[in-house]
Amino acid sequence: MPGPEPEAIELSDQVRQALEKLAGRHTTGQQKAQRARIILKAAEGKNNAEISREVKQSLDMVRLWRRRWLQGYWWACSPEFRRSTERRMKPTGTRRSQ
């Protein structure tokens, strides 16, 4: 018996283009590219099971990223995103804050 219909995701042209660019770039980390692919397929109207099969990820992972996107975690796909707690290493190997 099928579950409830997942919430629809609507993307502006600008956001869609940014996600397509992110998903297709060779320099994008694979996790971010996979998140972008999940969101793009969800915006096409596909259900979670279809997306899961197409991107070869677990159903739970697809549900997670659909839910996060809808909750406003769009920055998780953004290449410019850096957590404020993230640190950079100095060449000497000591940590410094950004």
Containing 9, the helix (H) or strand (E) segment is none
Let me know if residue 60 belongs to a domain. yes
pLDDT tens column, 15-34:
899 899 989 988 888 998 99
pLDDT tens column, 40-81:
999 999 999 999 999 999 999 999 999 999 888 766 565 554
Range of the domain at 30: 13-79
- With CA atoms as reference, report the closest residue to 9 among 50, 39, 35, 51: 39
Let me know if residue 85 belongs to a domain. no
pLDDT at 76: 58
pTM (whole model) above 0.75? no
Let me know if residue 21 belongs to a domain. yes
pLDDT at 8: 86
| Residue position matching structure tokens 């992110």 | 22
Let me know if residue 91 belongs to a domain. no
Let me know if residue 58 belongs to a domain. yes
| Residue position matching structure tokens 């953004």 | 78
- In whole angstroms, give the CA distance from residue 47 to residue 59: 10
